[in-house]
Chain A
């Protein structure tokens, strides 16, 4: 069971490394969107500190969305998805591997670069640590929930827009608790409660999303 997950992760990471433009463009998108806000709003530290959690999280959601349409589309187009569906193990395990690989190339880089961007918003060290932790904890849920949307819109024309409409509303809880954790730290309340809820959402979605995606993929393959 672990072997199939690790071999899917290994294959997807290798493919991502051969196509680095995808990873780099999502990270740059994140950097640029976040950087536009301080430039547009001007040097008012109080206002920036207040805006920071929301801005960083919304940008993280959108940057994750960028790579979602290709999560299954490439495999679908070249026939690999059929082979994966015919492999002698449950398709949900394969999807679990793909979700983890997607997080490693889309969520993890965002978490690593977020503290640097947070400095632009004059966030304290504590807030930066919580921000990084929150993005680390929350982005796997984004990949998981996103996989359901990507599977449901597989092979549809204009699937990209439909995917955003389907998935962004489902991202709202992650956004609320992710931004809430940083907010609470900034205002001195402590973000532990929010982080626990974020972790709960992530574990629930990682348990459930691969199987829901697998069911949607089977319909797409008919």
Chain B
């Protein structure tokens, strides 16, 4: 489904990687590993189409990724939380679903917030939340997420042990439903379902 063909990444004067190939099918998870500066985030930004590769091509369902159709299948979670400090967690979830053209009812959003452990804080502006809680607001998007391709940049950062297990469960549920996921992480978390593949950069 997701294919990378002979990718090359140059940042500034440095070539981070070249001749990178991989193929990911439904139900598979790709772990990107590598030291700091190896180009993990750059590769993720290539996969979502924000950074054009120096050479090579990325295809989704056989088509180059430069289309609205690809973005309709894509869910990206960067290391920035993409939540608005002035809005409440509930408003943030509803707004991001609305802007991504997804259906999300208020009940579903409340349910998602409850699952990430933010019950009772739905109506508190996000600027009053801790770093980990803000991360949970961002991750709550994944609970009801039905788009098949998830690209996650360091999803486990700032989470406590229980939340890491919960997120691993959410990701394996996604893989079981036939979804794909690509993620970078420094802590190897055991994902119980799906085929896990690893790619080491640098």
- Taking Cβ atoms with an 8 Å cutoff, the residues of A that contact B are 3-4, 7-8, 11, 14-15, 18-19, 77-80, 82-90, 94, 218, 221-222
Contact = CB atoms under 8 A, between A and B. Distances in A.
Contacts of B84: 11, 15, 78, 80
B91 A83 contact: no
A86 B81 contact: no
B20 interface: no
A83 B86 contact: no
Contact of B76 (A3, A7, A82, A88): A82
B68 A89 contact: yes
A4 to B, nearest CB: 7
B125 to A, nearest CB: 8
A19 B86 contact: yes
Contacts of A3: 101
B101 A83 contact: no
Interface of B: 45, 48-52, 68-69, 71-72, 74, 76, 78-87, 91, 95-96, 98-101, 125
Most-contacted residue by chain B among A3, A80, A84, A90 (CB, 10 A)? A80
A5 to B, nearest CB: 11
Contact of B95 (A11, A89, A90, A94): A11
Chain A contact residues, majority secondary structure: helix
Given A7-B99, A11-B99, A83-B82, A88 B50 contact: no
B105 to A, nearest CB: 15
A18 B128 CA distance: 14
Contacts, number: 74
B86 to A, nearest CB: 4
Contacts of A77: 80
30 contacts: A7-B98, A11-B84, A11-B98, A18-B86, A77-B80, A78-B80, A78-B81, A78-B83, A79-B78, A79-B79, A79-B80, A79-B82, A80-B82, A82-B76, A82-B78, A82-B82, A83-B76, A83-B82, A86-B74, A86-B100, A87-B71, A87-B100, A87-B101, A88-B68, A88-B71, A88-B101, A90-B68, A94-B99, A222-B50, A222-B52
B2 to A, nearest CB: 15
A86 B101 contact: no
A18 B87 contact: yes
Contacts of B91: 14
A207 B83 CA distance: 29
A85 B82 CA distance: 12
A86 B50 contact: yes
B68 A221 contact: no
A31 B82 CA distance: 35
Contacts of B83: 78, 80
A71 to B, nearest CB: 15
Contacts of B76: 82-83, 86
Query: Which 9 A/B pairs are nearest by Cβ-Cβ distance?
Result: A79-B80, A88-B72, A79-B82, A18-B86, A88-B71, A7-B98, A83-B82, A80-B82, A88-B68
Contact of A82 (B72, B80, B95, B125): B80
A96 B76 CA distance: 23
A16 to B, nearest CB: 9
